[in-house]
Structure 1
């Protein structure tokens, strides 16, 4: 019985050593990738951070053809070789994934705040344009201050132009 306990304890202690047979590299988008498969051939050597404990397999991705020129009679053999050589999808670093999600959420919140701010500005512009249009539609005299700081009463053409401008603001901002 004591021997069985020691055997189980030994197996438990040796279990983490199997995790050392991992590959670690940085992919094209800058993410750390952990896998039990070798990285794809397009990953440069400088981006490989850790190799598996055993010597790395050939990085060609495909097995070489027979030297005597005898091709396989099976039609599916090349496809089977390609499928076997294709790398499995790598596991992505969890921390990096969480940071990316957090950054995306912050960006969405920033965009929502900006959209809310723009909607508030449009609503204020709409209200001002409606008040101005009501003033011009009432028919009372309206004075404007010129570049010299003098008050000038608007004539009918200036009133019509201002009414047209206010109407375009109402059409664009009051939706």
Structure 2
């Protein structure tokens, strides 16, 4: 019984090791050389091999480049035409600027909508008052002492003129 458990554990460990090495084995280059023979290697093909002859190359995640194989790119001096990408602080400042502009635009639109709604109410109120005056209905007013009185024809005419002025301002 103990021997059976030992064999099973050994088999599982061997299988796990094979699976680990399988990822390394998949990091292979395959290319066709000048003689037409397929070449298999864990190193890239020689520089003389055209790109159309390279059949398979590993992904960057599958194999890490060796430090002695990697050459530093030749640096060239920056010209005035080269654009330097903005830093994180610059991008953050631009974002905040756009957000502030959007917020200001929304606030302005909201205030404009409120103003238009108030003008609409004032316009309707002035038109209604003017209709009441023109129909000759009795309109009362209160004086300083709180006494109620009705307007006469002269006051009615001045009130109609005042209503017309209010309509001209509110009903644009």
Out of 84, 97, 100, the residue aligned to residue 103 of structure 1 is: 100
Q: How far, CA to CA, are the matches of 1:149 and 1:89 in structure 2?
A: 77
Q: Which residue of 1 aligns with 2:68?
A: 7
Q: Does 1:94 align with 2:91?
A: yes
The higher relative CO (CA closer than 8 Å, separation ≥ 6) is in 1
Equivalent residue runs for 1:124-163 within 5 Å: 124-163=121-160
Q: TM-score, normalised by structure 2?
A: 0.52
Once the two structures are TM-superposed, the CA of residue 174 in structure 1 deviates from its matched residue by 1.2
Out of 111, 120, 123, the residue aligned to residue 120 of structure 2 is: 123
Unaligned runs of 5+ in 1: 13-17, 19-35, 38-83
Q: How far, CA to CA, are the matches of 1:90 and 1:6 in structure 2?
A: 28
Q: Max radius of gyration: which structure? A: 2
Q: How far, CA to CA, are the matches of 1:90 and 1:157 in structure 2?
A: 77
Q: How far, CA to CA, are the matches of 1:147 and 1:8 in structure 2?
A: 100
Q: How far, CA to CA, are the matches of 1:108 and 1:150 in structure 2?
A: 50
Q: TM-score, normalised by structure 1?
A: 0.51
Q: How far, CA to CA, are the matches of 1:158 and 1:88 in structure 2?
A: 78
Q: Which residue of 1 aligns with 2:32?
A: none
Residue deviations 1:25-66 (CA, integer Å, cap 9, x gap): xxxxxxxxxxx89xxxxxxxxxxxxxxxxxxxxxxxxxxxxx
Q: Which residue of 2 aligns with 1:63?
A: none
Unaligned runs of 5+ in 2: 1-42, 45-64
- RMSD over aligned CA atoms reads 3.2
